[in-house]
Structure 1
């Protein structure tokens, strides 16, 4: 019986929100550039570099130079994160690895069965995983911060991201599975509606993820310290230093944005000229310039394509964003008129 109400609520949400998606008639706020990546882990930094995998190989894309491979063919590699310096972290042949264009890869030990680097900040502090058993990640794996050759274990936390203050955000391991922030050996549980997950944290300490009172219905969430802002249906994957978060709505397979107390469907904000039949279904990451890496899909042929969404007109500088002017001029007007759900604060 508990599933009936959430499903009815989801149906009503779809019924009321989908007409709004179609009705918006405003200039596009983003232009799209196709990127040569597989639809797997994607990261964009504040230099506008995009990291991902192409043909199963970890690779880096830069404007003007295009794609550069950082791993070889047949190498078992995984991408975890990239910082603004252009350092990529992940794993190669089951060892935590750091890659940087023009330099030899660096590996470090995680334990008897290897592991992977999951996140890195601009100071080079890394969040990593040590496998408890050979093979894939599992519930008994352990996590640690790797800095200056030393490990600091994160017992009890499933980590996702680290900021410049070495705050690590993730989910508490155990029965509750609540979002939490770790700093200096202390865990701080974030407020939620009953269940929560946090996937990213910016340099202000604001976290992004999702929260719910029922497992079947998740709402985008931004935590500004102990203040929880809940948005429309969906889940936030990433947040920039202006507090703009992006993610997805699994029920409608739409890429979403959460900003300024409002929820947006990115499908109403991009210039899809030349992309007939394509829709944006997953937003992976956003940088301080408002550039977003998304995955688009074509339902007619089941194809997928990674796209870089760039603001139109281009935002001025990251400094203006950090001053609170997250989206400027025509971009701000186009986005503001496409909101589909208000914010709720608790």
Structure 2
């Protein structure tokens, strides 16, 4: 990110997502086949569950597949995390080389996971986990690389750099590594048609090479780059209809959550403050993200973040869906990172009483007959995943 833009996003939305088939840059993630959790509450037609595991002081949930598999992370604190697989409350680690950390950014319907690994003293290398196997996707000439999303046909997108220069949006397809157009690019999401969403840098020549002056939300169709517009914008997710979501600077200099239908940008509005970002979209067009709870011009404002759901035309504070016991226990939902086609939302929750941070799943309560089918399907997913998982 560019200087001012990066620092502003970091300050306002420290728990940001980056896309799936959905992504999550800068987060160490895990895969979870979510079939219910011990810590759960139900309110207003939703079930709220915390993602926890023994020994974890910090967890987050960043991506959820159509099958209910959740990508997240766990560890003793926010700076020492490992990718893990949670199954019915049992935690296992994804395969990692010794003395390394892992970042799992995306998962597809087959349970294939992509991300990056960082060994001691080295840069990130793109990785693909299939069951108990880990495949390094990096080319020898890459100085760093990260895989951020994978679709159902196995196309993988992310970014890579050569010789320590600016990153390039990158596509891994059928064994080939394709560097996409756009200097300073990052591919963050890919749909099942192969359309890619992300960002590229607007640069000016400087004495020591290109200097980034802005970022533009981008889409790649058949390897061709097109900008989505805006003086400074970023794209985080794309659904199968090609609708993209992300953020755009307004004329007043505020960060606004937007959806792009083609090149037409629609401001989704905010909860109350001037700043918000849209991180995920499903095929029904529901959008989730995070924004400030109050205006920055309010003298009493504490710059609190809240997760939101946009279901057209209204925007909803997801914390308002929690029951009274959960609220009394101190939990608020700060960031919604992703939403699947069943309307399950995953993200990061914060406890105002204990200062704890945990991943969460907020799931609509289905009708009785739908619930029986769902639990049967999730049980099958759990059985398959148990055969695949390897504890290291």
Instruction: Say whether the fold is shared (TM-score over 0.5).
Output: yes
Secondary structure of 2:143's aligned partner: coil
Residue 312, structure 1, aligned to residue 336, structure 2: no
- What's 1:143 paired with? 169
Q: 1:29 to 1:197 in 2, by over 3 A?
A: farther
CA distance in structure 1 between the aligned counterparts of 2:310 and 2:368, rounded to whole angstroms? 18
Secondary structure of 1:267's aligned partner: helix
1:255 Cα offset (Å): 0.4
1:311 Cα offset (Å): 0.6
- What's 1:269 paired with? 321
- What's 2:226 paired with? 188
CA distance in structure 1 between the aligned counterparts of 2:369 and 2:159, rounded to whole angstroms? 38
* TM-score, structure 2 as length reference: 0.67
Does structure 1 retain, via aligned residues, the 8 Å contact 2:61–2:359? no
1:296 Cα offset (Å): 1.1
* TM-score, structure 1 as length reference: 0.75
CA distance in structure 2 between the aligned counterparts of 1:316 and 1:144, rounded to whole angstroms? 43
CA distance in structure 2 between the aligned counterparts of 1:86 and 1:305, rounded to whole angstroms? 23
Deviations 1:315-341 (A, max 9, x none): 987xxxxxxxxxxxxxxxxxxxxxxxx
Secondary structure of 1:242's aligned partner: coil
Question: How many residues were matched structurally?
Answer: 284
Does structure 1 retain, via aligned residues, the 8 Å contact 2:186–2:198? yes
- What's 1:6 paired with? none
Worse-superposed segment, 218-227 or 144-153: 218-227
- What's 1:130 paired with? 160
Runs (4 or more) in structure 1 with deviation over 6 Å come to none
1:180 Cα offset (Å): 1.7
CA distance in structure 1 between the aligned counterparts of 2:125 and 2:280, rounded to whole angstroms? 26
Which residue, out of 279, 287, 296, partners 2:340?
Answer: 287
Secondary structure of 1:85's aligned partner: coil
Does structure 1 retain, via aligned residues, the 8 Å contact 2:198–2:218? yes
State how 1:113-128 maps to structure 2 within 5 Å.
113-128=143-158
Q: 1:185 to 1:159 in 2, by over 3 A?
A: same
State how 1:185-264 maps to structure 2 within 5 Å.
185-192=223-230, 194-214=231-251, 216-233=253-270, 234-250=276-292, 251-264=303-316
1:104 Cα offset (Å): 1.4
Q: 1:126 to 1:235 in 2, by over 3 A?
A: same
Which residue, out of 16, 35, 56, partners 2:51?
Answer: 35
Q: 1:114 to 1:260 in 2, by over 3 A?
A: same
Q: Where do 5+ consecutive residues of structure 2 fail to align?
A: 1-42, 76-80, 203-212, 271-275, 293-302, 371-392
Q: Where do 5+ consecutive residues of structure 1 fail to align?
A: 1-26, 318-346
